[in-house]
Amino acid sequence: MYDMKALYQAADVADAVALRLAHPEAQIIAGGSDVLVQMREGKRAGAELISIYGLDELRGVSLEEDGTLRIGSLTSFSHITQDPLIQKYVNVLGEAVDQVGGPQIRNIGTIGGNTCNGVTSADSASTLHAYDAIVELTGPDGVRRQPIHDFYIKAGKVDIRAGEIQTAILIPKESYENTFGHYIKYAMRNAMDIATLGTSVNVRLSADKKTVERVRVAFGVAGPVPLRAGTAEALAVGQSLSMDLAERFAQAVKEDINPRDSWRAARDFRMHIAVESTKRAFIESVKKAGGEL
């Protein structure tokens, strides 16, 4: 059923890096929810695998001294959703990954695997973009940290260099402090389906809850890689809350997104969904932040 050439088990992060260097064509496997399915379909016949599943140091959520939220790359979706720090600071991320597949997939699927696949439909991707997440990679030259916006190179390709493995996703305190968000996944079915479009919005309001101090909106499946809509963000900053602002903010995302036609949905339909979901997610984020429209 699984045609593989070899399976190497990493003992720790340093060993995983050494194995990557020794076997540059080998595929990293963690939860295996993608790789094993591909192998069963014959798409990776004769593959070499490096398993990092046993590296418990890459699991869990914690706060660093400067307030950065650290999510180990092997943290499963179900653990992210249930983690107290996630629920307190970036609950929208827990809500987003809770829409990945079914319970079995969420129990084994990892945040690292979801981002390293490089697919624009990943349910975590738009929210991580909306929170200016940083990807931590460990390799032969030590630790490298890179903004997630630069981590995605093109569809299915991310910036992981020779010998590197992803070790964490970091969300800076400045990105989540006093910030509230909402994620909307549009799919053909209500469960167990890939997103036709994913929209993540978060807002930070002024002290009197009447003005937009900061806003982010990011998408999955609105381009070849996850992306932010900077034109809409710039339009809303400093503006007073109103339903008119919500509408103008939503319409402005059309300036930055470029969805494609596919068998799942036509480009024009995705554009329509993007505008409508942006408006709804903005309104919901404002409500969570204590504002009124």
pLDDT in tens, 217-241: 999 999 999 999 999 999 999 999 9
Task: Quote the mean pLDDT of the chain.
Answer: 92
pLDDT at 33: 66
| Gyration radius (Cα) of the chain, Å | 19
Closest by CA to 7, choosing from 43, 68, 54, is 54
Would the pLDDT of 280 be above 80?
A: yes
pLDDT tens-digit map of 103-160: 778 878 899 999 998 888 888 999 999 999 999 999 999 999 999 999 999 998 999 9
pLDDT tier for residue 260 given thresholds of 50, 70 and 90: confident
Structure tokens belonging to residue 87: 């629920």
Closest by CA to 64, choosing from 136, 132, 15, is 136
Structure tokens belonging to residue 232: 């809409």
Closest by CA to 186, choosing from 99, 259, 118, is 99
Would the pLDDT of 261 be above 90?
A: no
More confident residue, 37 or 214: 214
pLDDT tens-digit map of 161-200: 999 999 999 999 999 999 999 999 988 766 667 889 999 9
State the residue for tokens 């653990």. 79
More confident residue, 168 or 264: 168
Domains and CATH numbers, the chain: 4-51 (3.30.43.10), 56-174 (3.30.465.10), 178-288 (3.30.390.50)
pLDDT tens-digit map of 49-79: 999 999 999 999 999 999 999 999 999 999 9
CB neighbours of residue 54 within 10 Å: 14
pLDDT at 190: 62
Counting residues of the chain whose pLDDT is more than 70, the rounded percentage is 93
Amino acid occupying residue 39: M
pLDDT at 121: 85
Would the pLDDT of 94 be above 70?
A: yes
pLDDT at 2: 67
pTM of the model: 0.93
On whether the CB atoms of residues 221 and 184 are closer than 8 A, the answer is: no
